[in-house]
Structure 1
Amino acid sequence: MEGRSGVKGTLYLLLTVIGIPGNIIIIASLIHIAYYDHKLLAADAILSNLATVNLFVVLVRCIPETTAAFGLKQLFDDNGCKIVIFIYRTTRSLSIWMTCLLSGFQCISLIPVTPTWSTVKRQAPKYLGPVLVFLLLLNMSLSTPAILFSISSANNSTGNKHAVNLEYCFVRFPLQTVKLANGALQTSRDVIPIVLMILASAYILLVLYRHRLQVKEIRNSSNKQGSTMEIRAAKAVVTLVTLYVLFFGIDNILWIYTLTVARTMQTSLISDLRVFFSSLYASVSPIVIIISNRKVHNKLKCRKIKQEATYSETVS
């Protein structure tokens, strides 16, 4: 058990060390771009929101899991557990919706220009703000069971077979039917964006395939450059969607397993694996964004060049 706790703590510490700086870099880079350019494209605004919710996922999930694995379990009282679990469930769900929204805007940018779609492309960014507010309120309302059933680990709930043990907190359900209903709610609210993301990614892949067939026919260098930028962004979105679908699939298969099987030592291990995969996207996605997003990448490159120039001047 001690060996498993050590491995678990090390893995979550790794996610924390990668996830916090990675998401902060994206947020800071996009804020810097918005400040100096006096505007932020819709896709960049979605990326900044995605990085923000992923940062919260790392803060309220990976850090408590790390400390609990290394022996410090009683971090929160009842109110603290309610707040932490509520924030986690809300931001985790928002993470998938932000990825879905990003794939949707990428589809709109790749759709051929027609009178109808030209209007959609022009009007869509104007509705981004209300859509973000709606998604926030929706996911906050669907996370309210966390407020009702979350308690501190100081309140021993090991005798309650309907409780979910997070080590630093318990989610204590009164009945098995309530536990199953809550699990179904948490899973089903993610199914819709997953389906939409898959459909959007299928369209993006179709566009990429057509682009590959036509790329030899492109002769105008400016058009080629613009097309290349769109294709690069499309590949990045497909990569993010693929990662989320993969981690979401593993997470929910394990979640369904823990809801339906008897409570044993094996299910405790399965629960640890489920929580790990549910947190993995928040730490891995910033790496993909930093590598693939030209604006963020160039901002970091310029920063590095300035630092090297400053260092050279100081040395000389």
Structure 2
Amino acid sequence: MSSLKNVLNLQAGLGVLANIFLFFFYTFIILGHRTKPIDLISCQLTFIHIVMVLTGADIWLTDLFESLNFENDFKCKATFYISRVMRGLSICMTCLLSVFQAVTISPNKSWLAKFKYKLKKYMIYATLFTWSFNLLFISNQIFYVGAFTNMSETNQVKVTKYCSLSPMTYIIRELVLTVTISRDVFLVGVMLTTSAYMVIILFRHQRQCKHLHSISHLRASPEKRATQTILLLMVFFVIMYWVNLIISSTSFLLRKYNPDIFTVQKFVVNAYPTITPLVQISSDNRVINMLKNLQAMRYQIFKKG
């Protein structure tokens, strides 16, 4: 058990550091007016993943709450609300990332081309709706979460070591499940559709390049590298989503809190927000060039010193 927690904290530390670095990088790019429309989503996604990882490694959040002398009930409600909102935002923003990248690389003759010129405008509307929907949708669920008392006397379902979920009415439970499942199925379906579309676009581009027999055309363009990166993230997200769904369903059917299963589930949930910034850092030439420049500056300063 302790080894699992150590691995989880190591994962959390790596995820937080990588996402913080990427968040400041995108913030600097956006403030410098050299931004791409996709950078606006990527910046938000890194912020969401920072909060996700911090709430996932609940030992950090528990220490923070204890230092501020917050009550157990508030700890449970705050942790539950923040983690659920961030998970919802993660899948929504990842879906938006795939959709807008598909629009970006779409051929000029396609029906998606007409959206290219208003991409930034649509992106702002989409992100505002995404944040508003997730913040409001999860808010009603915090009334059913509280500090764990005694399961032998109530019908509470223990969801963490210290928190439990009180039984909902039939209508509310079915409404929450329907909206959540519909949202996830729709977004995963959109991601798979846009991913297939981008694969087709890349395949056609590769075939045209081979037909032209031009070395310059065979070189991967920034758009192609960005598309390949997003495709990799889409595949990894869908895999982690289904693994987490299987673990969550198993825990719900057992109706029993198992610390080992819960720790494994947190590891799976934090896998995507941890891997995402590492993939983006290694594939974005702007980040690579910045790191090279920093290394060169460091070498010059060390040489002069």
Scaled by the length of structure 1, the TM-score of the pair is: 0.84
Q: Secondary structure at the match of 1:167?
A: coil
Whether the 8 Å contact between 2:77 and 2:145 is mirrored in structure 1 is yes
Matched, 1:307 2:298: yes
Paired residues for 1:82-161 under 5 Å: 82-114=77-109, 116-152=111-147, 155-159=148-152, 160-161=154-155
* Number of the residue aligned with 1:217: 211
SS of residue in 2 equivalent to 1:173:
coil
Deviation at 1:283, TM superposition (A): 1.2
Q: What pairs up with 1:280-295 in 2 under 5 angstroms?
A: 280-295=271-286
Which residue of the other structure, out of 57, 62, 70, is the alignment partner of 1:62? 57
Aligned partners of 2:76 and 2:61: how far apart in 1? 16
Select the residue among 235, 247, 250 that pairs with 2:240: 247
**Coordinate RMSD, CA, aligned:** 2.8
Give a deviation string over 1:50-100, Cα, whole Å, max 9, x none: 1010011011222437969xxx9x985322321221111111111111111
SS of 1:253's equivalent? helix
SS in 2 for 1:98: helix
Shift of 1:175: 6.5
Q: 1:86–1:262: structure 2 CA closer, same or farther, 3 Å change rule? A: closer
Which residue number corresponds to residue 188 of structure 2? 194
CA distance 1:65–1:261, change in 2 (3 Å) = farther
Matched, 1:24 2:26: no
- Would you say the 8 A contact 2:42–2:97 is kept in 1? yes
Alignment match, 2:251:
258
Please identify, of 17-26 and 115-124, the stretch whose mean Cα deviation from structure 2 is larger: 115-124
Aligned length: 300
Where structure 1 has 5 or more consecutive residues not aligned to the other structure, the ranges are none
State the shift of 1:134 in Å: 0.5
1:192/1:117 CA distance change after superposition, 3 Å: closer
Q: Which runs of 5+ in 2 are unaligned?
A: none
The one-letter amino acid paired with 1:9 is K
Of residues 8, 14, 18 in structure 2, which corresponds to 1:12? 8
CA distance in 2, matches of 1:187, 1:164: 22
TM-score, normalisation: structure 2: 0.87
The one-letter amino acid of 1:256's match is S
Measure the CA separation in 2 of the matches of 1:85 and 1:206. Answer: 40
The worse-fitting range, judged by mean Cα deviation, of 247-256 and 303-312 is: 303-312
The whole-number CA distance in structure 2 between the counterparts of 1:163 and 1:262 is 7
What amino acid is the match of 1:53? Answer: I
